[in-house]
Chain A
Amino acid sequence: MAKLELQNLTKAYSKTVVPVKDLSLTVDDNEFLTLVGPSGCGKSTILRMIAGLEQVTQGTVSIGGRDVTPLAPGDRNIAMVFQSYALYPHMTVYDNMASGLKLRKLGVGDIQKRIQSASQVLGLDPLLDRRPSQLSGGQRQRVALGRALVREPDVFLLDEPLSNLDALLREQVRADLKQIFERQESPVVYVTHDQTEAMTLSTKVAVLSEGYLQQLDAPNEIYRRPANRFVAGFIGSPQMNLMTLERVENSVLLGEFKIELPDAARKGSSVILGIRPEHVRLPQEGDCQIVRGDVFLVENLGMSDLVSVRLHGSDDRVLRAMLPADATWSRENIELALPPQSIHWFDVETEARLTS
């Protein structure tokens, strides 16, 4: 119905500043796409091009099969939540939400009905007569969301809507967001650099770096099978252990330990090994790939300890492991198992994933 489609989208501010390069993707009804990536990778620029706030250098944006690239923001029937919320300071909460509806010449009755139902969902009822300056940060965020919801647009755009909230509130609003957007159909494009938000909210995640789309997949796919070294390092917290290791025939050397290479990775003089700290574990029966080292740092994360280990046989190889807080291990000569199915292999040159 209102499928959002980006085709070969490029944005160049100048010859050298090209924050978005040849981006193509689609977001269907009932889909929630999150754009993640480090600061300055072009997330906001993409959103602003979809909204029509930024001139597209090349490519097209279409909504529901209609090419909207030449249209003004107001003619695209989208709604956007700004990072700063962009609430009109001189209008009450009610008028803030009504503004877009009045401009679209909706009847007073309809406007009231929509605002009522949105303010009920968002718990804004007691605040409708206040001005933005009389609201807390979380309440402002809700008003900004309400202003988008009442519009019942073809596409929702949200640019880091939670980044101004404190951690606790963010978690709560994140859950609310999920519920609210599950209840409606229109495609959602959500920008964040918080990967937890990306993982929990979305049906699809697009990881961006330096203007290029690195991977577009379901959240758990991105986590389980990162397409390249960048995605592997960017998604997941604490960060994945990534080491460039020399290849010796069909295995690599990690300090004094040999690790078997799968068929697909048996090429080149070296390969990149990746394993998430939460997949490194204390050896159990049947584990064959075991490394040893000395613990030099323990970070207590509450339910588990993040243990940093300097591996034997190499001065600089550090492996980080998430171990259960109640487990016992020796600080010196700790043994850790690297389950083969949890290891990711990447090409040194292209940094692309080697194993399927």
Chain B
Amino acid sequence: MTQDYIRQRERRTGWLLILPALLVLLLVYAYPILRAFWLSVFTENLSTNLEPVFSGFENYGRMAQDGRFWASLGNTAIFTAASLVLELILGLGVALTLDQAFRGRGWVRTIAILPWALPTALIALAWRWIFNGEFGVWNDILMRLQIIGNPINWLGDPNWAMLGVIAADVWKTTSFVAILLLAGLQSIPQDLYEAHAIDGATPLQSFRKITLPLIMPQILIAMLFRFAQAFGIFDLIQVMTGGGPGGATEMVSLYIYATVMRYLDFGYGAALVVVTFVILIAVVAIAALYLSKVRHAAGVEE
């Protein structure tokens, strides 16, 4: 076999072209991560007068025993899973609706993206008021409909607070998921549905056999993005509940923030960052692997 010079040359040019970006990435992303790894094997807090003292994997051992860490990880998992599932279902519904031809579709599409475009802190403030125990709209509606008799302090109740922040997050990011999925839907040629209908399929069967497999890449991409965001959620929670009541909505990122900024426990904070980072990377890597498989299966690339 002769060598494939064209491919080789292309590959060389490719490396050359991504080199600057690679350098920037290394500097901006790799360095802080490595630095965090380094910090995490030191103890550096008020008990050491903020002097770094080498302590091996002591921080990690401490983490295993740290109930608050595990609780925050659990909260994060619940928050992430619930909002991803809800956003996927609602987002798909919205996307399917926006994919239909109707009057004023352009307007509706623009409006649909708005929640995503607004600053999270503002949205969080608004939702805090919506769920307010005394003045909140939500209580007002429920009471008028006579679903509840007395006002409920939604964000002040450990059982309801998690639902409250999930609702706010779903409201904000469903449109993001919907727009991504809409792009996928629009790339499906109409005649596939027509051929399938002639084959004898009902709309529901077409949805399962044509729509879902063909937008699976977009679903996975949306979920990947959303996972990374939800897992690291900070601003929304910080403004709405501050992690309360009683740690009921404390996410890993809030715990890290408290550890570093409030307790000035830098070494332990770094260890927390490292573990969270590893979890995040692992999930994203698995998803990305799966994504390339799905894209292949959807006939997108060879």
Residues of A within 8 A of B (CB): 51-53, 72-75, 78-80, 82, 84, 86, 88-90, 99-100, 103-104, 131-134, 147, 151
User: Known: A84-B191, A86-B191, A90-B214. Is A131-B198 also a contact (CB below 8 A)?
Assistant: no
Q: How far is the CB of A78 from chain B (nearest CB, A)?
A: 7
State whether B192 touches A103 (Cβ < 8 A).
Answer: no
Q: Identify which of residues 156-215 in chain B touch chain A, using a CB-to-CB cut-off of 8 Å.
A: 189, 191-192, 194-202, 205, 209-210, 213-214
State whether B199 touches A99 (Cβ < 8 A).
Answer: yes
State whether A100 touches B298 (Cβ < 8 A).
Answer: no
State whether B198 touches A73 (Cβ < 8 A).
Answer: yes
State whether A84 touches B194 (Cβ < 8 A).
Answer: no
Q: How far is the CB of B94 from chain A (nearest CB, A)?
A: 24
Kindly identify which residue among B200, B214, B299, B302 contacts A104, using a CB–CB cutoff of 8 Å. Answer: B200
Complex: chain A residue closest to B193, CB-CB: A86
Q: How far is the CB of B188 from chain A (nearest CB, A)?
A: 9
Contact partners of B258 in chain A: CB under 8 A: none
Residues of B within 8 A of A (CB): 189, 191-192, 194-202, 205, 209-210, 213-214, 297-299, 302
Kindly identify which residue among B196, B198, B213, B302 contacts A90, using a CB–CB cutoff of 8 Å. Answer: B213
Contact partners of A132 in chain B: CB under 8 A: 299
Complex: chain B residue closest to A159, CB-CB: B191
Q: How far is the CB of A355 from chain B (nearest CB, A)?
A: 44
Complex: chain A residue closest to B214, CB-CB: A90
User: Known: A84-B189, A86-B191, A133-B302. Is A74-B297 also a contact (CB below 8 A)?
Assistant: no
Contact partners of A133 in chain B: CB under 8 A: 299, 302
State whether A103 touches B297 (Cβ < 8 A).
Answer: no
Given A88-B196, A89-B299, A133-B302, 18 additional A-B pairs, CB 8 A: A53-B198, A72-B197, A73-B197, A73-B198, A74-B199, A79-B198, A80-B194, A82-B194, A86-B189, A88-B210, A89-B298, A90-B298, A90-B299, A99-B209, A100-B198, A103-B201, A131-B299, A147-B195
State whether B205 touches A103 (Cβ < 8 A).
Answer: yes
Complex Cα–Cα for A53 and B195 (A) = 10
30 residue pairs A–B, Cβ–Cβ below 8 Å: A51-B194, A52-B197, A53-B198, A73-B198, A74-B197, A74-B201, A75-B200, A79-B198, A80-B195, A80-B198, A82-B194, A84-B189, A86-B192, A86-B195, A88-B192, A88-B195, A88-B210, A89-B298, A99-B196, A99-B199, A99-B209, A100-B198, A100-B200, A103-B201, A104-B200, A132-B299, A133-B299, A133-B302, A134-B302, A147-B195
User: Known: A86-B189, A103-B199. Is A73-B210 also a contact (CB below 8 A)?
Assistant: no
Contact partners of A82 in chain B: CB under 8 A: 191, 194-195
